[in-house]
Structure 1
Amino acid sequence: MEEDTVANAIQLFGNVSSFIRKFIFRILSVGPIPNHIAFIMDGNRRYAKKWNLDLRVGYKAGILALICMLKYCMELGLKYITIYAFSIDNFKRRPEEIQNVMDTMRDIIEGMLKEESSIVNQHGVRVYFIGNLRLLSEALRAAAEKAMNVTAKNDKAVLLVCLAYTSSNEITHAVQESCNDANRACHGGEKSEIKEEEEEEQYPIIKLVDVERQMYMAVAPDPDILIRSSGETRLSNFLLWQTTSCLLYFPKALWPELGLRHLVWAVLNFQRRHSYLEKKKKQS
């Protein structure tokens, strides 16, 4: 009897919470809703230290927070969500910590493909893994590629997971690929070295659009809002190219503590400054 009472209470609480969220999102939908929100998930390690928990438990708490946040974003009607899962700079951390993150990421990928009730399957989400994937372990890279292939036909929303990513690496990659394309175009598809003494007119000018086409993030529009948890007011080499006209929000809550109220506050600020942000986008 006690177990049934607890289960009924949990179900009732879930129903009430769902009703409140729908009510809040209904009010928000009167104003402009962002198309794309990006998250820097900062504070998992500090959360574990704060509560004297094992580091792996801190990361698992971060995963639960991510699942909840993705659910809120889907219910709100967002089309694109980007998360900063692992920076290239993070490879400088202790090997055991890196391995923990890689194992956790692989478990998440495999789980979201197997479980029918996962966010990806339930909401028809297409998944992209963004970054220099060659730096990942073979097992994780294979799992990421499988996830992208399996979800390729999903079209209700897009989740971009920045893994082995930094903005400087993305920009360098895009410029290199643009130069290679221009070089091949000048030599009938053959790649060759450009000699200084040759006439400059032989080579096409590389335009902004050429570089942007080669960006890892070219599969999505620029974010409308970027949220970084833990109160840090840095972008940490994340989406530097794409956030020139983006609303930035730095709540003090650590990532596992980030919740619905933070998302609602970010959207309200976006709506308040929407006209100004749109004007800036047109000027850039």
Structure 2
Amino acid sequence: MRSWFRRHATRVYERLLERELSGTPTHVAVIQDGNRRYARKQGADASDGHRAGAQTTESLLEWCDELGIEELTLYAFSTENFERPADQRAALFDLIEDKLYDFADADRVHESEVRIRAIGETDRLPRRVRDAIAYADRRTEGYDRFYLNVALAYGGRAELLGAARDIAEDVDSGMLDPNAIDVEAIENRLYEGPTREVDLIIRTGGAERTSNFLPWHANGNEAAAYFCAPYWPEFRKIDFLRAIRTYEHRENSWRRKRARRALALIRAASGQELEEARRILGRFRGSLTDSELEDIDVPVESDHGLGGD
């Protein structure tokens, strides 16, 4: 009776959280931490924890589809993981290989038009894992409705260092003018991977750090971060909805900050600067109180109204 009541209460709370959300992130990145600790707590082998975590990953894909999220990046195997004992690495490679083939052949993947890609120094992975990556890539290469990026042999610092070296070599050879180095020049030299900037990073397992994960795509976008105690196999839809609520709160705070900055600029600027400030303020007008706006005449153009961008 108690377990039934708990499940019923959980479903009710899930529906409440969903109703409270007014928007969702476009791109979510997840650090799936705690598989081994979960296994130890259960008195099982580490490989059992990783398999349980893989089931949570499948559920996460369903939740993303339900909420209209367009891109998901999973931190499956970092460059630091190569330092693990050989038997642990082999078990992880077995699981990654199996899941890549399973996902590539799953009906729901093709029905939802999921594009599966691996990002990272994949040439460092065993041949059998690289073959599974290539298979998943071929099977889903025509899809673009949802992107699933699997970070394998990935390290954010190594990615940025590689881009810096490539740029230095191109400048030294005369192929690139130093004055032409811009955001696009750097992004063209990063791992082929995410199609969008990261809006929200989730980390399970209790640690409150992003562990060198997608520094360019997340930090540059000031992505929201949600840290939670459950180990990855214990992560529930409620936890996911709470993470999205954190993103929504950060987004609303960001909009208010931009609006107040534009309001301050209107009070101090003139001419072209004034028009630009008014345009920005028009986009974020709904983030300010009436008292903050009452002494300012702010025309809101229809192309830049709330939701216009």
Q: TM-score, normalised by structure 2?
A: 0.73
Unaligned runs of 5+ in 1: 1-15, 190-201
Do the aligned residues in 1 keep the contact of 2:203 with 2:228 (CA within 8 Å)? yes
- Percent of residue pairs bearing the same amino acid type: 28
* Partner in structure 2 of residue 47 of structure 1: 38
Contact 1:130 1:163 in 2 (8 A): yes
Residues 82-132 of structure 1 show CA distances to partners (whole Å, capped at 9, x for unaligned) of: 110000101100100000000110001111222324xx2232110110000
Q: How does 1:80-99 map to 2 (within 5 A)?
A: 80-99=71-90
The answer to whether structure 1 residue 165 and structure 2 residue 142 are counterparts is: no
2:199 counterpart residue number: 224
1:49/1:37 Cα in 2 relative to 1: closer, same or farther (>3 Å)? Answer: same
1:154 matched to 2:129? The reply is: no
Map Cα deviations across residues 238-275 of structure 1 (whole Å, 9 max, x no partner).
11222220111110000100010111111112222213
1:140 maps to 2:132: no
2:119 corresponds to 1:130 = yes
SS at match of 1:81: strand
Residue 21 (structure 1) shift = 9.6
Higher relative contact order (CA 8 A, sep 6+): 1
CA separation of 1:79/1:108 partners in 2, compared to 1, >3 Å: closer, same or farther?
same
Q: 2:95 aligns with which of 81, 93, 104?
A: 104
| Paired AA for residue 187 in structure 2 | E
Question: Given that residues 38 and 83 in structure 1 are in contact (C-alpha distance below 8 angstroms), is that contact kept between their aligned partners in structure 2?
Answer: yes
Residues of 1 paired with 2:48 and 2:74: CA distance?
20
Instruction: Name the residue aligned to 1:27.
Output: 19
In the alignment, which of 78, 85, 88 is matched to residue 69 of structure 2? 78
Matched residue of 1:226: which SS?
strand
1:156 and 1:58 map into 2 onto residues whose CA distance is 31
**Structure 1 residue 234 corresponds to structure 2 residue 223:** no
Q: Normalising by the residue count of structure 1, what TM-score does the alignment of the two structures yield? A: 0.79
Structure 1 residue 181 displacement after superposition: 4.0
Q: How many aligned residue pairs are there?
A: 251
Deviation at 1:182, TM superposition (A): 4.0
Aligned to 1:66: 57
| One-letter code aligned to 2:160 | I
1:274 and 2:265 aligned: no
Contact 1:229 1:250 in 2 (8 A): yes
From 152, 169, 181, the counterpart of 1:206: 181
Q: Following TM superposition, where does structure 1 have runs of at least 4 consecutive aligned residues deviating by more than 3 angstroms?
A: 19-26, 179-184, 202-205, 277-283
Corresponding residue to 1:38 among 21, 29, 35: 29
Contact kept in structure 1, 2:18 and 2:241, CA below 8 Å: no
Q: Does residue 249 in structure 1 map to residue 226 in structure 2?
A: yes
- 3-state SS of 2:218 partner: coil
Q: Secondary structure at the match of 1:243?
A: helix
Q: Residue type matched to 2:227 in 1?
A: F
SS of 2:107's equivalent?
coil
The CA distance in 2 between the partners of 1:242 and 1:146, in whole Å, is 26
Separation in 1, partners of 2:156, 2:38: 26
The answer to whether the Cα contact below 8 Å between 1:182 and 1:204 also exists between their aligned partners in 2 is: no
Aligned-residue offset at 1:33: 1.3
Deviation readout 1:62-91 (Å, 9 max, x if unpaired): 000111111101110000101100001011
CA contact (8 A) 1:246 1:277 kept: no
Corresponding letter in the other structure for 2:99: I
Tell me, yes or no, if the aligned pair for 1:61 and 1:256 is still in contact at 8 Å: yes
Structure 2 vs 1, CA of residues 82 and 277 (structure 1 numbering), >3 Å: closer, same or farther? farther
What is the CA–CA distance in structure 1 between the aligned matches of 2:19 and 2:202, rounded to whole Å? 21
User: What SS does the aligned partner of 1:216 have?
Assistant: coil
Instruction: Encode CA deviations 1:39-69: one digit per residue, 9 max, x unaligned.
Output: 0000000000011012211111000011111
CA distance in 2, matches of 1:33, 1:96: 40
Closer/same/farther in 2, CA of residues 100 and 264 from structure 1, 3 Å limit: same
The equivalent of 1:194 in structure 2 is none
Distance 1:203 1:80, change over 3 A: closer
